[in-house]
Amino acid sequence: MRIVTQTSSAFAIYNARLVLEGAVVENGWLSVENGVIRDLGEGNLPEALIRDSFTSIDAGGQWIFPGFIDLHIHGGDGYEVMDGTVKAIDAVGRFHATRGTTGWLPTTLTAPIDALERALSASHEASLRQEGGAQILGVHLEGPFISPDKCGAQNPEYVIPPSIELLERLTGIANGLVKKVTIAPERDGALEAIRWMSSRGIIPSIGHTDGTLAQTLAGVRAGARHATHLFNAMRGLHHREGGTVGAALLSDDVICELIADGHHVDVDVMKLVYDVKGREKLVLITDAMTAAGKPDGEYKLGELDVIVEDGVAVLKEGHNLAGSTLTMDAAVRNMVRLVGVNPWDAAHMAALVPARELGLQDRKGSVAVGKDADLVMMDESLQVVATWVAGRQVFQR
């Protein structure tokens, strides 16, 4: 991969297929100044931009998507958030930028409290630096307040009951950076913790749970409006008991994460979920672990041993799926090619829905005048050609 740094603060892209919120503008152009989209349109690049000394970039008819926002990343390129170092978190952000991700939430695992504190401190420090990769928009705590019966690839040794006192401690370390917490709503103390998070602008996300439909709906009423990797590590849908999945699908307020790799959720089920939830209530995530971007082999997910074969990561012991090697560009391709959604709807689920959840929709999530120039150029086969974060080019193929 080629990491680049663009020096010009004013540039224009023309001869592009602009993916807007509800349509594609063929032969489109846009201009960027000081990291923000200044203007856009269709047809030839305006002469005024040339006179104003804008650097011009010919897209050659390729796509311009909004930068993808991934709410659930554990690692990539051989590094992991739980390494607990700024170096590792910077490396993960740089790698995912090469796959079109311009904003992300470093995601922790169920682990010893001191390990969580190190990961949170490193994430906070890295967020202040923003070293040439995807921008850190918050942190996602995936555990430790989960069900011991639905750990998935989480270490059951470190599962603990929900605790507001511990939430205050952990969120304080990250200085307001914690934006999302996965929690099992059926656990004692969970509803109080969900209310506490919701009142502070933290997304309580239902996940790693054995909750019944009724228990899950109680969590929704308490303020949980998100479901962590739908179907995976949660009580499934049964015709006599709707379970967590049934509650998430039935609840209009709940936005469901989808790992769109065809392994975590079958393609036909992905189509069913899209038909039920639609583009407004689905968010594409990767759940990427250390092996994303690396060859098959043996890796770690926290303290647990993982084997990757044909790009699928499973625990060495038990063979549970252990995160993924998915990247956001591949998730978008899969939604377009396998599920049959159009490019702007795929972009909506990969960019605008997560931006809205984070309260950043006025700045991020779509190609629009006045928004940050978080942009991805993709070729005809939807492979990433270049990535810009706030107008700064951080990758070029």
Candidates 287, 345, 372, 374; catalytic one:
287
Residue 113 token pair: 């409290």
Residue 73 β-bridge partners: 106, 288
Sign of CA pseudo-dihedral 214, 219, 152, 285 = positive
Sign of CA pseudo-dihedral 91, 377, 265, 72 = positive
Question: At 187, which amino acid appears?
Answer: R
287 is catalytic: yes
DSSP string, 259-317: ETTSSSS-HHHHHHHHHHH-GGGEEEE--B-TTTTS-SEEEEETTEEEEEETTEEEETT
Contact 147, 186 (CB under 8 A): yes
User: What distance in Å separates the CA atoms of residue 138 and residue 35, rounded to the nearest whole number?
Assistant: 20
Question: At 97, which amino acid appears?
Answer: A
Residues labelled catalytic: 287
